[in-house]
Amino acid sequence: MDAKLRGIHVMAQRSRIVLLHATMVAIDPIHAAFRKLWPEAEAVNLLDDALTIDRAKADELRPDLQSRFVSLCHYGASLSADGILITCSAFGPAIEQAASEISIPVLKPNAPMFDAAIRQGQRIAMIATFAPAVVTMEQEFAEQARAQGSAAVLESFVLPDAMAALRSGDAETHNRLVAEKGASLSRFDAIMLAHFSTSRAADHLRSQTAIPVLSAPEASVLAMREALAG
């Protein structure tokens, strides 16, 4: 087989992963994780940043917004996708519905990170920057801990100013605020960074604390690769 045909063959074997984003600030962290851990995958973007705007208008996930999110997942599956990876943590029930309706893997953004945190101990902190995501994430963490036979308890800390800084293009302030909060937490077995967007502060925080710092993008990439390999 000549080089050109080998290239065509390799491209045909690449897994296409649709990344469903509800905010632009999640895009860079997940692509960085793919470049590091699964560069052979074909990661493509499906963005509706109005989702985050509309999600912030209510404490609960409205039925119409859930329906819209599930429709986007179906559209993503239609793009010859081998898997769909959600990069926003505020749509848990909608992700579960989509996963039950679509034959390819549809992965929640945080389950692999939760698993790693639960294995670290029973006192887990979570730093979030988008408050509407916290309620469903706390529920999902509690359900996952019970399923794993763990008594782990989650305590959340919300930093809306960090998200505002990041959306304005000030990643340095975002990272500083997240790291300052994380460095002040001394009684936990692990610290989770709630969103894909907060993962950009992981290295900064790790330089200021001896507590394990966990973020979602890398764990999610590995989980999707494992799901497709099985």
The reported pLDDT for the residue numbered 13 is 66
Q: Among 88, 94, 148, 92, which residue's Cα sits nearest to residue 117? A: 148
Assigned CATH topology for domain 111-215: Rossmann fold (3.40.50)
Dihedral sign for Cα 52, 95, 18, 31, please. positive
Mean pLDDT value of segment 100-129: 95
User: Which CATH number is 3-109+218-229 given?
Assistant: 3.40.50.1860
> What would the mean pLDDT of 44-57 be, rounded to a whole number?
94
d(CA 120, CA 152): 9
Residue-level pLDDT at 75: 98
pTM beyond cutoff 0.75: yes
Average pLDDT over residues 146-167: 97
Examine the pLDDT at 12 and tell me if it is beyond 80. Answer: no
Stretch(es) of the chain classified as CATH 3.40.50.1860: 3-109+218-229, 111-215
- As a whole number, the mean pLDDT across the chain is 92
Q: Are 111 and 221 in contact (CB under 8 A)?
A: no
Q: How far apart are the first and last CA of the chain?
A: 28
Residue 33 has pLDDT above 80, yes or no: yes
Taking the C-alpha atoms of residue 89 and residue 137, their distance in angstroms, rounded to an integer, is 7
Tell me the residue ranges of DSSP E strands in 38-119.
42-47, 83-86, 106-107
Q: Which residues contact 59 (CB under 8 A, 6 or more apart)?
A: 132, 135
Residues 57-113: tens digit of each pLDDT: 988 899 999 999 999 999 999 999 999 999 998 899 999 999 999 999 999 989 999
Residue 212's pLDDT is what? 96
